[in-house]
Every structure is written in C-alpha cells, then in structure tokens.
Structure 1
C-alpha cells in the first residue's frame, strides 16, 4: 500500500511538472489572441467586414494582424539590440517557467526539421601564426583566396569572417559539420582527432 501511495505521489508531481508549462503557455496564448481579437473587431467594424462575415470578421482580421506582426518581427530580429533583448527575455522565462527550455528546444527542433538548410560549409583548420584555428570555409576563389568563418566558441553561429590565402588552410575532409559544431559546443573537445 505504501508503494502505491509513493507511485501515486510521483505520478502527481510528474503530471504537474508536465502540465504547468502547458497551462502557462495556453493562458499566455489566450491573452495574446484576445488582444488581437479586440483590435480585429475594431478594424473589421471600420472596414465594414463585420457586415459581410459577421462575428467571424474579428477572428479573421485579428489573425491577419497576428500573422503580419510575426512576419515583421522576423525582420526586426536581424537587429543586434533586439536579439540581445529577446535573449534576455528567454533567460528570464527559463528562470520563472519550469519546462520552458525543454519545450523551446522541442519547438526549435521541429522548426529546423521543416526548414532544412543545406550547409555547404567545410570544416578546416586555419594557420594563425604558430597555431591552427578551427574554422569553416565559406567560399573559395580562383585567385587563391578564401572566405573563412571563425566561430566564437562555444557558438557555431557567431564569430568573424576573414579573407585569407588558401595556402593557410588545412581541410578536414573526414569531419562532418555536425561533429565540428558539437566539438565547438564542448569548447574544442575532440578537434585533435579530426583529420
């Protein structure tokens, strides 16, 4: 009987941990949707769409406003200030909403699976004085010049671009982009095994 109560307690706690982020997400989405419905209703009345579509006009116009806002937010994300601001909000949500980080990663994986980018970058080592710097070859010209991206470890999407002579490049033909990026995330562990 004691085992049954312990199992029931674990199930209740696990269930609460799963449902809490979902409930918070749906409450936030409900607030956002009601905000856009409110302005959708005003715009539909102004455009006389409510005469044609009735009460569905507020949903249609509100949904249109939401889609337009999401689309233009994508352009705004290219600005460095907004990237920092959204990163700060992201960090705050991770602190105050349990399960947010896990749900965000799942959503990002699903989006990345739908929008598969073909990565044509080639992992290389770049001669930098007496040292070799892990980098990615972006382009190569006929004039023995190359465009090289040096990632800012542990991030594989931030760093510096350089134009260098191709004789400073050592290719890593047996290294996949995925292995290279995984090594960067772990601060270079495994790079010595690349060839």
Structure 2
C-alpha cells in the first residue's frame, strides 16, 4: 500500500511539474489577449467598425494593435538598455517559472528556422596561450578578424573586449548564451560540457 501511495505521489508531483508551465502560459496568454481585445473594442467603436463588422472588429483591431506593438518592440530591442532589461526579466522568469528556459529555447529554435540569424553573439572559446577561455563572439568580418567579449567571472556583463584572428576562436554552436552566462556566474561550472 505504501508503495502504491508513493507511486501516486510521484505521479502527481510529475504531473504538476508538466502542467504548471502550460497553465501559467495559458493564463498569461488569456490576460494579454484580453488586454488587447479591450483596446480593440475601443478603437472599433471610435472608428465605427463595430457597426460594419460586428463583434469581430474587436478581435481584428486587437490583433492589429498586438502586431504593431510586437513590431515596435522588435525594433526597440536593438537598444542596449532594453536588451539588458529583457535579459534580466528572462533570468528572473527562469527562476520562478519551471520549464520556462526549455520552452523559450524551443520557441527560439522554431523562430530561427524561419529567420536566419547571423553567426555573431554566440558562445566561443578563445585561445589564450596554452589554454582556452570562454567568451562571446560579438563581430566577425571576411578578412579573418573577430571581436570577442571575455566576461570576468562571476559577472556576465563585465570583462574585456579583444580583437583577434578568427583562427584563435572555437565556436560552440550547440551552446546557448544563457548556458554560458550561467557558467560564468558559477565560476566556470559546466564549461567542459559545452559543444
């Protein structure tokens, strides 16, 4: 009987771990869509589109407002301050939402198949004498030069910038910047598993 109860308890905990991120995502999505739907309704009444299209005008204008906001948010992401702010939010979400990092990585992989990413701002190993140092590839040109940022542990945003020959770097295409940042924060733990 104890074995059966232990099995039931394990299954319930595992089910909660699986369902919690999905439930949180669903609630957040419902709140976001409700927010844009409310403003879509106001614009539909203002433009008298609700008289022509009925209740569907609310959804259409809410979707248009959401798309415009997404477009301008993507444009604003080019600003360094906002990029740092969103990275900070990502770090906090990884702590408080189980499964967030996995779902984010899957979404980024799906988006990367649609939008080809440049091969910069990726984790690399920089050859420094007889040893390799973890770094981020910032920029690379066709003449064989590269700009790399070497973080000073445990801070991912503090370090030094070097201009080196591309032959002195080894790209780690299977490693994410999140993994590199976590490793720098933990003083190098996990770097040996990077590929």
Q: TM-score, normalised by structure 2?
A: 0.69
- Root-mean-square deviation (Å): 3.9
- Give the secondary structure class of the aligned counterpart of 2:147: strand
Pairwise mapping of residues 135-174 of structure 1 onto structure 2 (< 5 A)? 137-140=140-143, 147-153=145-151, 160=161, 162=163, 169=165, 171=167
Matches of 1:82 and 1:139, distance apart in 2: 30
Asked whether the equivalents of residues 41 and 62 of structure 2 are also in contact (C-alpha less than 8 Å), the reply is yes
- Give the match for residue 7 of structure 1: 7
Instruction: Measure the CA separation in 1 of the matches of 2:59 and 2:166.
Output: 58
CA separation in 1, counterparts of 2:111 and 2:6?
38
- Alignment coverage as a number of residue pairs: 173
Q: Residue 149 of structure 1 contacts residue 159 of structure 1 at CA under 8 Å; is this kept in 2?
A: no
Gaps of 5+ in 1: 141-145, 191-195
Aligned partner of 1:65 in structure 2 is 65
The Cα offsets for residues 53-101 of structure 1, whole Å up to 9 and x where unpaired, read as: 1000000000000011011100111111111211222222222222222
Structure 2 Cα separation of the partners of residues 9 and 125 of structure 1: 48
Cα displacement string for residues 23-63 of structure 1 (whole angstroms, at most 9, x for unaligned residues) = 11111111111111111001011111111210000000000
Q: CA 1:23–1:3 in structure 2 vs 1: closer, same or farther (change >3 Å)?
A: same
Which of the two has higher C-alpha Rg?
1
SS at match of 2:141: strand
**1:137-184 C-alpha deviation (Å, 9 max, x unpaired):** 5221xxxxx5422243598xx98474x8xxxx4737xx97446968x9
The aligned counterpart of 1:41 is: 41
Q: If the length of structure 1 is used for normalisation, what is the TM-score?
A: 0.69
Contact 1:137 1:147 survives alignment (8 Å): yes
Distance 2:22 2:125 in 1: 43
Q: Which moved more, 1:5-14 or 1:69-78?
A: 5-14
Contact 2:43 2:61 survives alignment (8 Å): yes
What runs of 5+ residues in structure 2 fail to find an aligned partner? none
Paired position in structure 2 for 1:143: none
